[in-house]
Amino acid sequence: MDWKGVYNAKDGEVYLMNGIIPINKERGMTSHDVVAKVRGILKTRKVGHSGTLDPNVDGVLPVCVGRATKVVDYLMDFGKTYKGSITLGFSTTTEDLDGDIVDQKKMTEPLSDDQINATLNSMTGTLIQIPPMYSAVKVNGRKLYEYARAGQTVERPERKINVYQFKQIKPTQFDPEKGQQTIFFEVKCGKGTYVRTLAVDFGLKFDLPAVMSDLTRLSSGGFGIDECLTLSELEDARDEGQLSDVIYPLDRALKNFNSVIITDAEWKVVQNGGFLKRPKTDLIISLKYKGNIQALYQYDEEYQLYKPKKMLLVK
């Protein structure tokens, strides 16, 4: 089965495709808005995104189409890179500029570059983070933002996050009249990290209220912003019959797994969800047949064979 599926833009019809389209999401749209738009452009319901972006954040949003929706979780494992800014001197309910101001503290002098760089560097590695109230994390079956909007508070679960790099990328700006300082950063982090909360936690290091005042996602799911296209560019690609130029195979999400080319006989076994008796090479392997990754198989130590873990393009 061809990973791209079959489509024909010239007659106005677009049929099911299988692959990943990295979208450069514009501000003002929710991630759900993007998915709805892609569904309309490609005329298919089977579309999902990898890693929610808030409406006030732009940048990389990998969108999976067709059977590629099965690899969303693997895209999340690649981590993300952002650039943005932290403003010190006030804080909000949402930890960004969308919320109401809840605390203010006028700064009389700015933090030095040495203070900033040392503190950003100290906030790397494996950290414990408490997600913001305005987030989609569920507690007792309800999303935290539902509690927040109802004016309720609830104990939020701690979670481990990984921050690989947190650095200043250009000179800071200090407004002596407002008593506020803005720091411009780039952060590379693992899944589940709330950059808004990193901004707030940075301020706490200096007993200052803080917010995330700007954010752009530079990479996600192994895709960089230079590989992305806008929704209008996706429409143009459809109209010009060039969708094959902008959709990536689901293999991109599986780069962390060693691939094994299987024989015709093994392919018949895989098509039926059968087990493969072959020497162990890795715990999980991707099975490639006729140039496409068809499934993921996991090794069973007890029976010394490979069992199906995730069927991808297999019918």
Residue type, 200: V
Residues making up the chain, counted from first to last? 315
Quote the tokens at residue 271: 């098509």
The model's confidence at residue 138, banded by pLDDT at 50, 70 and 90, is confident
* Res 51: pLDDT: 82
Residue 77 appears among annotated catalytic residues: no
* Res 149: pLDDT: 80
* Res 14: pLDDT: 46
Q: What is the distance between the alpha carbons of residues 294 and 3, in angstroms, rounded to a whole number?
A: 9
% pLDDT > 70, the chain: 93
Lowest mean pLDDT among 31-35, 67-71, 152-156, 238-242: 152-156
Q: Please, what is the Cα angle at 78 between 72 and 80, to 5 degrees?
A: 105
Does 130 or 40 have the greater pLDDT score? 40
* Res 133: pLDDT: 67
Q: How many CB atoms lie within 10 A of CB 267?
A: 15
pLDDT at 259 over 50: yes
* Res 56: pLDDT: 93
Please choose, from the candidates 64, 123, 57, 10, the residue with its C-alpha nearest in 3D space to the C-alpha of residue 251: 64
Please choose, from the candidates 139, 158, 161, 133, the residue with its C-alpha nearest in 3D space to the C-alpha of residue 76: 161
Q: Does residue 103 contact residue 84 with C-beta atoms inside 8 Å?
A: no
Going by C-beta distance under 8 Å and a sequence separation of 6 or more, which residues neighbour residue 206? 88, 111, 115, 119
Lowest mean pLDDT among 30-39, 70-79, 150-159: 150-159
* Res 13: pLDDT: 53
Classify the C-alpha dihedral 205-92-157-129 as positive or negative.
negative
Mean pLDDT of 3-22: 62
Q: What domains can be seen in the chain, in order of their start residue?
A: 19-77+222-252 (3.30.2350.10), 80-220 (3.30.2350.10), 257-311 (2.30.130)
Query: Which pLDDT tens digit goes with each residue over 88-120?
Result: 999 999 999 999 999 999 999 999 999 999 999
The model's confidence at residue 314, banded by pLDDT at 50, 70 and 90, is confident
Query: Which pLDDT tens digit goes with each residue over 18-30?
Result: 899 999 999 999 9
* Res 289: pLDDT: 93
Q: Does residue 104 contact residue 169 with C-beta atoms inside 8 Å?
A: no
Please choose, from the candidates 297, 311, 309, 304, the residue with its C-alpha nearest in 3D space to the C-alpha of residue 280: 304
Going by C-beta distance under 8 Å and a sequence separation of 6 or more, which residues neighbour residue 205? 119, 122
Lowest mean pLDDT among 63-72, 128-137, 154-163, 275-284: 128-137
* Res 135: pLDDT: 67
**C-alpha pair distances (Å), 212 with each of 30, 90, 231:** 18, 10, 26
Classify the C-alpha dihedral 293-299-300-306 as positive or negative.
positive
* Res 37: pLDDT: 96
pLDDT at 311 over 60: yes
Catalytic residue among 33, 54, 58, 207: 54
